[in-house]
Structure formats: structure tokens, C-alpha cells
């Protein structure tokens, strides 16, 4: 069994992070280490990591830089990148180890919305699976790969958005980057907040703009402005 390093970027999401760290501690097979890279440099997050025996690392609030910092610190044979609000299947480390033993260099989990699920989820999940097959699986799907493959693929890009795109492309050129049938459960709160179809449409617009050459930093600024507008609209209605 190879050793696994779990790397989690976090930014003011301690409640969800606590749930994930607790779940990791109770997995049938536990990782060699858990590294939380905190973009908010929060004392609350630091204390939480101490409670769950996870490494805490302060970073600039940029997801790509956070992931790179965590990967640089990691000592495991396999790097597994998780979002702080993920919920895991029952025995994910065994699932990943099995695929790596078959010769895969890495892979990703199937995207599934966590509860509470709304009816659009049943349409969006197959569409996301199709996008991953012909395009790029994103970081919320628990990307994993051997540490050597991560290095050879040049790691994450130091961007606030789409930081995994060049990494996944590089990994697929190196070898078999597999799609696991088992799901990782993605928190639906952002779709609930923004509206299921509106959130999906905004995500697609960002992806199309990125594909056309727009800078990730510019798109991140646009995304934050959009979210602020939605929050203000919600407060006004209340």
C-alpha cells in the first residue's frame, strides 16, 4: 500500500473542514499525513488542525499557490487533493491504491451532489461526467496522482481559478488518468445560494472565457464581483 498525502486548500471554511478532517480520521485506511493550506492564515483553522493532527500551513489566498505549497511539503507516494467541503466515500484510499496498482498514474472521483439534493442535480451530474470524459475534471472531484507524476506534469498552475487544467492535461499525456466509479460528494450550497441553473451557466461562461485565453486572475475578480452582487441581492430581498 503506497503512502498517501492529503492536501486541502482552505479559506474561511472551518466548519466544513472540521467535518472532513473528522471523516478522514475514521477511514478504514488512513493517510500518511494531512496538510491544510490556509489562505486566510486563521488562528481558528490552525487550532482545528492541531485538534485533528493535521499539518497547518499559511499561504496567500490563491488556490493554485495553496495547492503547490501543500504538494511541496508532502512526503507521501501519492498526492490526493481535496476541497474543504468534500464528503468522502467509505474507503477511498483502497479504491485509489487499487487503480494505481493496476498501472494508473492517477485519477479522479465521480462528481455527485451531497444532500440536500434538488432535482437539477439528476441532470447536471451526467453532464459533468460527460464534460470530464472529453474535458477536464476539476479540483472538487478529489484529484489524485503519484508524487512523481505530479512533478513530471509540473504541478498546479499558480492561479486562483482553473489551476488544475494544465496539470490534468499533463497527467493524461504521461499515462492512464482514470475516472473512478465511486463518487465524491460535493457540497451543493453554492448552487442553492446562486440558483442551480444560474450557477451552472456562470461556471460555463468562466470556462469558455478561460478557453479563449482570458487570464485566470481577471476571471477570479469577475467571479468574486458576481458572488458579491448575488449576496447583496439576497440581503436586499430579506
Domain boundary among 187, 204, 228: 187
| Percent above pLDDT 90 for the chain | 91
Range of the domain at 227: 193-238
Burial 216-233 (b: 16+ CB within 10 A, else e): beebbebbeeeeeebeee
pLDDT score of 222:
87
Domain boundary among 187, 211, 226: 187
pLDDT score of 225:
81
- The pLDDT tens digits of the residues spanning 24-62 come to 999 999 999 999 999 999 999 999 999 999 999 999 999
Helix (H) and strand (E) counts in the chain: 10, 7
pLDDT score of 166:
98
Q: Is the backbone peptide bond immediately before 184 cis, with ω within 30 degrees of 0?
A: no
Stretch 192-216: mean pLDDT, rounded? 94
Contacts of 101 (CB under 8 A, 6+ apart): none
Q: 111 pLDDT exceeds 80?
A: yes
pLDDT score of 227:
74
DSSP secondary-structure letter at 139?
G
Stretch 108-137: mean pLDDT, rounded? 95
DSSP secondary-structure letter at 107?
E
Q: How far is CA 121 from CA 106, 107, 195, in A?
A: 26, 23, 12
Residue 56, strand partner residues: 36
pTM: 0.94
Say yes or no: 32 and 109 in one domain: yes
pLDDT score of 124:
97
- Beta pairing class for 55-58 and 33-38: parallel
Q: 233 pLDDT exceeds 80?
A: no
Nearest to 49 by CA among 70, 80, 75: 70
Say yes or no: 220 and 164 in one domain: no
Q: How confident is the model at residue 173 (pLDDT cuts 50, 70, 90)?
A: very high
Q: 146 pLDDT exceeds 80?
A: yes
Say yes or no: 214 and 232 in one domain: yes
Say yes or no: 179 and 207 in one domain: no
Amino acid at each position: 500500500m503506497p503512502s498517501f498525502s492529503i492536501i486541502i486548500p482552505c479559506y474561511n471554511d472551518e466548519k466544513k473542514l472540521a467535518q472532513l478532517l473528522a471523516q478522514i480520521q475514521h477511514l478504514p485506511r488512513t493517510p500518511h499525513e494531512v496538510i491544510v493550506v490556509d489562505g486566510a492564515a486563521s488562528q481558528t483553522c490552525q487550532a482545528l488542525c492541531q485538534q485533528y493532527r493535521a499539518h497547518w500551513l499559511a499561504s496567500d489566498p490563491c488556490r493554485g499557490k495553496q495547492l503547490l505549497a501543500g504538494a511541496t511539503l508532502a512526503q507521501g507516494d501519492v498526492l490526493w487533493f481535496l476541497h474543504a467541503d468534500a464528503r468522502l466515500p467509505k474507503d477511498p484510499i483502497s479504491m485509489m491504491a487499487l487503480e494505481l496498482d493496476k498501472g494508473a498514474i492517477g485519477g479522479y472521483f465521480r462528481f455527485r451532489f451531497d444532500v440536500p439534493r434538488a432535482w437539477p442535480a439528476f441532470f447536471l451530474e451526467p453532464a459533468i461526467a460527460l464534460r470530464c470524459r472529453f474535458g477536464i475534471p476539476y479540483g472538487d472531484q478529489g484529484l489524485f496522482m503519484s508524487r512523481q507524476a505530479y512533478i513530471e506534469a509540473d504541478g498546479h498552475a499558480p492561479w486562483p481559478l482553473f489551476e488544475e487544467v494544465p496539470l490534468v492535461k499533463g497527467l493524461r499525456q504521461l499515462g492512464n488518468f482514470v475516472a473512478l466509479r465511486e463518487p465524491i460528494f460535493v457540497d451543493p450550497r453554492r448552487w442553492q445560494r446562486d440558483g442551480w441553473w444560474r450557477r451552472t451557466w456562470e461556471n460555463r461562461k468562466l470556462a469558455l472565457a478561460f478557453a479563449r485565453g482570458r487570464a485566470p486572475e481577471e476571471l477570479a475578480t469577475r467571479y468574486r464581483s458576481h458572488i458579491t452582487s448575488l449576496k447583496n441581492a439576497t440581503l436586499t430581498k430579506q
